[in-house]
């Protein structure tokens, strides 16, 4: 099972790329040390710091043929990785 699931490419995260910060969706059980080592191994950069965020799932409901169907979106974990100054991660090469 891979620690890194996918890079997060949004307008806000693209703005942080200029500061050397990149965002990834990671496994819920991964810790900061494991995430940093996985980034260094996959992209060949030096990681200075890793910040993690848990995004809890939300309740959703919708009407289907007069019935209410409810459920929940999954809980995810994000990691914002800061790389050493002058180093760049080319996220678009992996997409």
Q: What is the pTM of this model?
A: 0.84
> 18 in helix, strand or coil?
helix
Read off the pLDDT of residues 1-43 as tens digits, 9 standing for 90 and up: 589 999 999 999 999 999 999 999 999 999 999 999 999 999 9
The three-point CA angle 22-77-46 to 5° equals 35
The residues, ordered by sequence, that sit 6+ positions from 17 with a Cβ below 8 Å of its Cβ are: none
Choose the weakest-confidence range: 58-62, 63-67, 79-83, 88-92. 88-92
C-alpha–C-alpha distance, residues 88 and 18, integer Å: 9
């Amino acid at each position: 099972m891979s620690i890194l699931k996918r890079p997060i490419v949004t307008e806000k995260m693209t703005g942080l790329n200029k500061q050397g910060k990149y965002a990834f969706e990671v496994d819920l059980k991964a810790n900061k040390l494991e995430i940093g080592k996985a980034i260094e191994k996959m992209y060949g950069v030096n990681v200075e710091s890793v910040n993690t965020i848990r995004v809890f799932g939300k309740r959703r409901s919708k009407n289907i043929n007069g019935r209410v169907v409810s459920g929940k979106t999954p809980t995810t974990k994000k990691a914002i990785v800061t790389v050493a100054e002058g180093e760049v991660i080319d996220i678009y090469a992996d997409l």
